[in-house]
C-alpha cells in the first residue's frame, strides 16, 4: 500500500526481518524506485508480507532479485537498510545464483540506477537549451549558453567515472583504483592520441598498435574494465604481503588494466555495443512501424520485471555514434500511454481512494517514473495496463512515419523530455513525437470510459456463478462482506499480538485468536491463493476480493510444517466452513511457541473500513470481521 513513509528505519528493519534477516542477504542495491535484494534462499511468505507494509507499492521477484518497489523514498530506505546489513565484501559476487541473463540485468540495474537522476537532470538542461535557442537564436553565441552547455554534457563526457564508482560497489573492488583507471580512459591526452591515430599516425604500446577508440560517454569499456579489475585485485590481495599491499596492488592494477582496456577490452566491447545499436537501427530504419509497435507496446512490460536497464548501453551507443536515438522517442510514448491510462481511471472511478492514488502515480509519471502508475493503478486493474500498452503501440506506430529521434539523452524519458526530440537534422521528429504522445494519452482515456477499468470484475464474475452463489452476489450489492471465525478460541485485538509485524498493522487490519482446538476452517466462500511451504499460514481470497491471511501461531515457520496437515490445494475453491488445516496444538506449545493466530485483511487499503466485531470467545462460524467497501 502506497502510504507516505516517515519512519524509514522501521520500514528497513521490517523488510530485513521479512526476508530472513542479515544472514540471508547476499547483496542489496537500489534504482530509481526499487530496493533490489539478492537472497541466499527464498522466503515463501516474504512477498506477501513486504507488499503490505506501509510505504511499499509492491514486490517483484525476478532476475534472481527480491525487488521492493517503494517509489521516490527508496533512497532513504536503502540508506537505512544498508546500515543494518554488513555485506560480505570478500565473497565473489559473480557466483550469485541465477542465469547469465539475470546477472547481466542485475548488473545493469546496479550500475546505472544510482546516477540515473544525474543523467536525467543533464538531459532536461539540454532540452531547455534547445527551447531557448528556438526562441532566441542568438543565445547560442553567448558565454552563458556555453557554460550551461558544457554543464549539461559533463555527466556524459565523464560517464566512465560514474560507472567506475557504481560498478566497483557492485563487483566489490576498490573504488579508487576503478576511478583512477577509468579516468585514464577519458584523459584529454588519450583523446588527443586517438585523434592522431584516426588521422593516420601509427602509435604502439610495447610493439602493439593502438586503436582510435575514444572512451568519453562510453559504457561497456569501463564496465568490463571494473569487472576484470575485481578478479585481478582479489588475485593480487591474496599474493602480495600486507605491508606493501596498499601501494603495489593499485600500482599493478593500473599498469595492467588501462593498457589492457585500450588494447583489447575497449575496442571489442565498443564493437559489441555498436553492433547491437546498429541492429536496432536497421530495424528502426527499414521497418519503423514494427520498431514503434514493439517498443511502444511492450516497453512497460520490461519495467514491470525491472529489466529495462539492460537497454541503456545500446541507447548511449546510439548517441555516441550518431548524436541521436529513436528508441527513446518511442519509449517516451510508451511512458505517456501509462499516464493516459491513469488519467482514464481517475476520470472513470467513483472511489476517492483510487483517484487519490491515481493523482500521486500520475505526478511521478510526469518525470518518467511509471512504477507507481503500473503497480498502483494500471496493472492492479489489468484493463488500464492493456489499454495503455495498446495506446503506446498505436502512438509509436503513428510517430514512426515522422522519423522520430531524441537528439539529447534522457535519463528518464517522459513528458518533460519531449523537447529532446527537436533537431534540425529531422524537423518532422518533434511533430511525430507530439502526435504519438497525444494519441498515447487520449486513446486509453477513451477506451477506459467505454469499457471500464475493472472495478466491477468481481461483480461480473459473481453474476456468472451458479444459483448457489447468489448470496455472495447479494453481499456485493450492499458493499460489505463478513469474515467468520475460522477456529474456536479467545478473540484478542491485533495490537496485543507479540509479533510487531502483525501488531503494528503493517500487513493490514484484523484480529487474532488464541485457539482452543486443532482445526482451521474457511471463513468465507472463495479461493486458496497461497499455502506456506511450512504449512503454518494460508492466504484466501473471497469471491468479492477480500484477501485474508491466517497465520497459525507466532514463529511457527521454524517447525518446518511438522505439526500441520493441509487439507486443500493452492488454487482450490472453498466454501465457508470447509476444513483447511489441522494442527497439533499441544506439540507446538511444548516447543515454547505461542499459538496466537493473527487473521489479517491483507488488502485493507482497498476498503473504506475493517470493523472488528465485539466478541470475546469465538466459535467457528461467528461473525468476526466486517469489511466495508
How many whole angstroms separate alpha carbon 501 and alpha carbon 600? Answer: 11
Q: Please report, rounded to a whole number, the percentage of residues in the chain having pLDDT higher than 90.
A: 39
DSSP string, 491-522: EEEGGG-S-HHHHTTTT-EEEEEEESSSEEE-
For the beta carbon of residue 200, count every other beta carbon within 10 angstroms: 7
Residues 145-168 have a mean pLDDT of 90
Give the DSSP letter of residue 240.
S
Out of 484, 551, 567, 605, which one is annotated catalytic? Answer: 551
Q: Is the pLDDT of residue 333 over 90?
A: yes
Q: How many residues does the chain have?
A: 629
Query: Could you report the per-residue pLDDT of 505-533, keeping only the tens digit for each?
Result: 778 889 999 998 899 999 999 999 999 88
Residue 95 has pLDDT above 50, yes or no: no
Number of Cβ within 10 Å of residue 296's Cβ equals 33
392 pLDDT exceeds 50?
yes
CA dist., res. 368 & res. 167, Å (int): 24
Sheet of 34-39, strands arranged across: 25-30, 34-39, 65-69, 58-62
Strongest mean pLDDT among 25-29, 173-177, 570-574: 173-177
Note the pLDDT of residue 470. Answer: 41
CB-based contact 486:550 (threshold 8 Å) = yes
pLDDT band at 289 (very low <50, low <70, confident <90, very high): very high
Percent of the chain having pLDDT more than 70? 90
CA distances from 211 to 178, 225, 458, 532 (A): 22, 17, 64, 58
What does the angle CA 155 – CA 161 – CA 163 come to, to the nearest 5 degrees? Answer: 90
Q: How far apart are CA 99 and CA 63, in angstroms?
A: 8
614 to each of 205, 480, 503, 539, how far by Cα in Å?
84, 17, 18, 24
Residues 465-484 have pLDDT tens digits of 433 344 444 433 446 788 99
Residue with more model confidence, 119 or 455:
119
pLDDT band, residue 583 (cuts 50/70/90): very high
Residue 462: band (very low, low, confident or very high) from pLDDT cuts 50, 70, 90 = very low
Q: Which residue has the higher pLDDT, 282 or 558?
A: 282
Identify the active-site residue in 31, 253, 308, 484. Answer: 31
Identify the pLDDT of residue 102: 62
Beta-carbon-side half-sphere exposure of residue 261 (alpha carbons within 13 Å): 29
At residue 468, the pLDDT reads 39
- Mean pLDDT throughout 182-210? 90
The pLDDT of residue 305 is above 70 = no
Supply the pLDDT for residue 339. Answer: 94
- Given a cut of 70, whether residue 2 has pLDDT beyond it is no
Residue for grid cell 467505454 = 450
Active site residue 605: no
Between the ranges 18-32, 251-265, 272-286, where is the mean pLDDT highest?
A: 251-265
For all residues of the chain together, what is the average pLDDT?
A: 84
Question: Is 253 in the active site?
Answer: no
The residue to which cell 523514498 is assigned: 73
CA distance readout (Å), 279 to 272, 274, 315: 11, 8, 12
Beta-bridge mates of residue 25:
39
Q: Give the residue ranges of DSSP H helices in 416-530.
A: 429-451, 457-463, 470-477, 500-503
Q: What is the pLDDT of residue 90?
A: 39
Q: If residue 579 lies in a helix (H) or strand (E), which one and from where to where? A: strand 579-583
Q: Name the residue among 395, 194, 386, 236 with its Cα closest to residue 300.
A: 386
pLDDT given at position 582:
94
Taking the CA atoms of residue 352, residue 358, residue 364 and residue 365 in that order, the dihedral angle to the nearest 10 degrees is -160
Q: What per-residue confidence (pLDDT) applies to 475?
A: 38
Amino acid at each position: 500500500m502506497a502510504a507516505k513513509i516517515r519512519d524509514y528505519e522501521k520500514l528497513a528493519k521490517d523488510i530485513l526481518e521479512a526476508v530472513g534477516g542479515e544472514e540471508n542477504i547476499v547483496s542489496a542495491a537500489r534504482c530509481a524506485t526499487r530496493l533490489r535484494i539478492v537472497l541466499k534462499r527464498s522466503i515463501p511468505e516474504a512477498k506477501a508480507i513486504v507488499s503490505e507494509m506501509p510505504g511499499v507499492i509492491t514486490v517483484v521477484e525476478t532476475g534472481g532479485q527480491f525487488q521492493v518497489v517503494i517509489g521516490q523514498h527508496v533512497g532513504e530506505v536503502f540508506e537505512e537498510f544498508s546500515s543494518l546489513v554488513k555485506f560480505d565484501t570478500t565473497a565473489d559476487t559473480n557466483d550469485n545464483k541465477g542465469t547469465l541473463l539475470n546477472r547481466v540485468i542485475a548488473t545493469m540495474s546496479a550500475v546505472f540506477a544510482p546516477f540515473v537522476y544525474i543523467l536525467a537532470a543533464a538531459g532536461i538542461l539540454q532540452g531547455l537549451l534547445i527551447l531557448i535557442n528556438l526562441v532566441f537564436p542568438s543565445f547560442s553565441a553567448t558565454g552563458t549558453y556555453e557554460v550551461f552547455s558544457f554543464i549539461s554534457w559533463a555527466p556524459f563526457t565523464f560517464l566512465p567515472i560514474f560507472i567506475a564508482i557504481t560498478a566497483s560497489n557492485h563487483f566489490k573492488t576498490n573504488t579508487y583504483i576503478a576511478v583512477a583507471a577509468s579516468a585514464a580512459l577519458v584523459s584529454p591526452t588519450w583523446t588527443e592520441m586517438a585523434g592522431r591515430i584516426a588521422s593516420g599516425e601509427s602509435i604502439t604500446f610495447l610493439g602493439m598498435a593502438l586503436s582510435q577508440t575514444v572512451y568519453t560517454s562510453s559504457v561497456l569499456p569501463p564496465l568490463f574494465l571494473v569487472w576484470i579489475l575485481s578478479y585481478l585485485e582479489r588475485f593480487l590481495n591474496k599474493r602480495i604481503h600486507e605491508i606493501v599491499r596498499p601501494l603495489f596492488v593499485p600500482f599493478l592494477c593500473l599498469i595492467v588494466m588501462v593498457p589492457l582496456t585500450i588494447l583489447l577490452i575497449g575496442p571489442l566491447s565498443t564493437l559489441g555495443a555498436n553492433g547491437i545499436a546498429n541492429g536496432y537501427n536497421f530495424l528502426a530504419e527499414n521497418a519503423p512501424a514494427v520498431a514503434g509497435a514493439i517498443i511502444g507496446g511492450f516497453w512497460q512490460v520490461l519495467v514491470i520485471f525491472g529489466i529495462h536497464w539492460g537497454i541503456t548501453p545500446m541507447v548511449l551507443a546510439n548517441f555516441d555514434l550518431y548524436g541521436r536515438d529513436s528508441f527513446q522517442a518511442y519509449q517516451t510514448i510508451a511512458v505517456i500511454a501509462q499516464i493516459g491510462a491513469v488519467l482514464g481511471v481517475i476520470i472513470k472511478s467513483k472511489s476517492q481512494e483510487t483517484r487519490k492514488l491515481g493523482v500521486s502515480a500520475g505526478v511521478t509519471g510526469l518525470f518518467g517514473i511509471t512504477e507507481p502508475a503500473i503497480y498502483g493503478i494500471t496493472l492492479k486493474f489489468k484493463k488500464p495496463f492493456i489499454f495503455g500498452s495498446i495506446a503506446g503501440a498505436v502512438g509509436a506506430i503513428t510517430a514512426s512515419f515522422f522519423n522520430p529521434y531524441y537528439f539529447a539523452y534522457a535519463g528518464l524519458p517522459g513528458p518533460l523530455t519531449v523537447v529532446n526530440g527537436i533537431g534540425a537534422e529531422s524537423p518532422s521528429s518533434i511533430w511525430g513525437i507530439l502526435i504519438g504522445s497525444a494519441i498515447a494519452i487520449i486513446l486509453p482515456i477513451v477506451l477506459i470510459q467505454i469499457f471500464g477499468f475493472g472495478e466491477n470484475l468481481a461483480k461480473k464474475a459473481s453474476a456468472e456463478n451458479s444459483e448457489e452463489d447468489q448470496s455472495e452476489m447479494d453481499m456485493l450489492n450492499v458493499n460489505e462482506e463478513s469474515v467468520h471465525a475460522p477456529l474456536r478460541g479467545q478473540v484478542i485485538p491485533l495490537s496485543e499480538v507479540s509479533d510487531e509485524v502483525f501488531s503494528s498493522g503493517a500487513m493490514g487490519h484484523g484480529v487474532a485468536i488464541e485457539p482452543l482446538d486443532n482445526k482451521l476452517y474457511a471463513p468465507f466462500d472463495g479461493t486458496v491463493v497461497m499455502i506456506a511451504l511450512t504449512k503454518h499460514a494460508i492466504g484466501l481470497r473471497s469471491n468479492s476480493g477480500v484477501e485474508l491471511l491466517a497465520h497459525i501461531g507466532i514463529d511457527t515457520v521454524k517447525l518446518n510444517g511438522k505439526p500441520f496437515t493441509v487439507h486443500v490445494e493452492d488454487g482450490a475453491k472453498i466454501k465457508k466452513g470447509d476444513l483447511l488445516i489441522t494442527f497439533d496444538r499441544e506439540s507446538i506449545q511444548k516447543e515454547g511457541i505461542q499459538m496466537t493466530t493473527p487473521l489479517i485483511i491483507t488488502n485493507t487499503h482497498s476498503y473504506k473500513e475493517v470493523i472488528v466485531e465485539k466478541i470475546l470467545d469465538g466459535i467457528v462460524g461467528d461473525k468476526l470481521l466486517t469489511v466495508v467497501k
